[in-house]
Structure 1
Amino acid sequence: MSTRFDALAQLYEESFELPWRRDLESYTVLGLLGDLAGASVLDLGCGSGDYCRALRRAGAGRVVGYDTSEGMIEHASRRESREALGIEYTTTPPPAGSFDVVLGVYVLPYAEDYRALTELCALAGRALRDGGRFVTLPVNPDFDPRPDYYARYGFRLYDAEPRSDASRVTLELVFSAYHEVVTARHWSRPTLVKALTEAGFTGIDWPGYRVSPDGRGTHGPDFWSPYLHRPHAALITAVSS
């Protein structure tokens, strides 16, 4: 079944080239994943396939993009047919124990209740081999509440209701000709850790972000400092046991 995200593929592709995504987010994520040579990687909630392509170019041996949005998968598959990177895209849940790494960027924020949150974590856990790694980016439980705090990066973020587990958060993507509003969910650190633990994950860690040398040189520390102080998304790494 199509979702409202079907029409957003082009926006998401263009957002991947914004400085904070290119020089901070994806730079940090790929750095955390390390050497991917020969690794089998699942991009959970792959959207338009931006991270799938980055993972493949980083040397991953097998990359599978999974999303429930048929429109996103169709868009990503059209690009794959042109670029022939060897990426697989699917709307079918991944088989158990098939991957060394699962990446879930902005997936957990779309769990509308705790049951859905644990199901997403369990899906990632099932897909991994024992000892496999899960890297995911939820809404930062401590994001800055001022709506314009992140405006310089191309978006606004604010609480749509009092902050608590599963409370609604509004994300406005405002860059180029775009102004798209997305509703996400806030989850506290203890609740995220609980859900991951129940899914069989251990070694849960919350690393910080790093800015690429090009990003530091182009924009300077004053540009990056607000985001590094209060990022809008947290980073979580965990190990499947």
Structure 2
Amino acid sequence: MNDDNSYDKIAEQYKKSKQLGFRKYVEEFTLLKLAGDVSGKQVLDLACGEGIYTRKIKQLGASAIVGVDLSSEMIKLAEAEERKNPIGCQYLVNDALNLGKIGDFDMVMCMYLLNYARNKEELLQMCESIYINLKPKGKLFGFNDNPMNNLENYATYKEYGFIKESTINREEGDFVKYIIYNPDGKEFSFNNYYLSPQTYEACFLAAGFKNFQWEGPFLDEKVRETDYWDVFFNDPPLIGFSASK
């Protein structure tokens, strides 16, 4: 993967953004719902960032988990947390595009990995990397920029802590810029890339996956009683997905 979108410079700010409500009540809630029972499972966490979900999956009973991220600064944060609170997470600096086979895992988790593919070829390469690291009947799940999100709604999510921007016509391979507004008042940004839902579905099929489907997103029951989340869920900017080998 090209390193001009490196998270090394924004690692600390990205970690702080996990305090935003959508992270906990939508992102985390959806992820753990899709993960299901992880007891005794060997899990590969691709695009693990600073390891927040790597740790959560391990704490929920995974027998082993390996977190992989392209950003060495993100991995430093993850390893620092592991030293501070050792629970058995392992971390590697590596690129999911060129990962190769590093093990046989029951599950692969991809939080915001696939939306960094700049074209169909890169997306297929990522899908193939995931596939070769899964055991037969293994499970893939994750969370992603929503390619079905209407472009005209990109600027409507600021009350949740972010907005999105793209080109006027948003075609295959165009950037999807996220501007994040952290609770401490600081902001930072990074680019994802737009590929159509059909491109995603074609790449999963070509890589050999079965039962690929978009999932959710889902909202934590604890915050469902208000209309605060209506704008978010009327046209979700983010979405989960799952597939099996």
Counterpart AA for 2:231:
P
Aligned position for 2:166: 159
Residue 46 of structure 1 pairs with residue 54 of structure 2 = no
- Could you list the structure 1 runs, at least 4 aligned residues long, displaced by more than 3 angstroms after superposition: 92-97
Determine helix, strand or coil for the equivalent of 1:221.
coil
Shift of 1:209: 2.2
Q: Flag the 1:138–1:187 CA change in 2: closer, same or farther, 3 A.
A: farther
Q: Letter of the aligned partner of 2:78 in structure 1?
A: A
1:230 aligns with 2:227: no
Q: Which residue of 2 is the match for residue 82 of structure 1? A: 84
- Identical positions, percent: 28
1:135 alignment counterpart: 141
How far does residue 127 in structure 1 lie from its aligned partner after superposition?
A: 1.0
Structure 1 CA distance, aligned partners of 2:106 and 2:35?
A: 11
TM-score scaled by length of structure 2: 0.90
**Other-structure match for 2:212:** 204
Moved more, 135-144 or 224-233: 135-144
The question of whether the paired residues in 2 share the 8 Å contact of 1:100 and 1:132 is answered with: yes
Please list, as runs of the form range in 1=range in 2, the aligned pairs for 1:80-159 lying within 5 A after superposition: 80-92=82-94, 93=99, 95=101, 98-145=104-151, 146-159=153-166
Structure 2 gaps of 5+ residues are: none
The TM-score, its normalising length taken from structure 1, stands at 0.91
Q: Deviations over 1:99-153 (max 9, x none)?
A: 1111111111111122111111111111111111111323212213234311111
The alpha-carbon deviation at position 59 of structure 1 amounts to: 1.6
Cα distance, 1:94–1:10 mapped onto 2, change above 3 Å: farther
Say whether 1:172 aligns with 2:179. yes
| C-alpha contact 2:139 2:242 (8 A) present in aligned 1 | yes
Cα distance in 2 for partners of 1:178, 1:124 equals 34
Distance 1:107 1:30, change over 3 A: same
2:226 equivalent among 217, 221, 228: 221
Per-residue CA deviations over 1:20-49 (Å, capped at 9, x if unaligned) read: 110111111101111110011111011111
> In 2, are the aligned partners of 1:65 and 1:89 still within 8 Å (CA)?
yes
2:54 aligned partner, one-letter code: C
Q: Which moved more, 1:10-19 or 1:106-115?
A: 10-19
| Change in CA separation of 1:101 and 1:173 when aligned onto 2, cut-off 3 Å | same
Match of 1:184 among 192, 207, 210: 192
Contact 1:139 1:187 in 2 (8 A): no
Match of 2:68 in 1: 66
Picking from 23, 46, 52, the partner of 1:21 is 23
Structure 1 residue 89 displacement after superposition? 0.2
Residue of structure 2 in register with 1:10 after alignment: 12
Q: CA deviation at 1:161?
A: 4.4
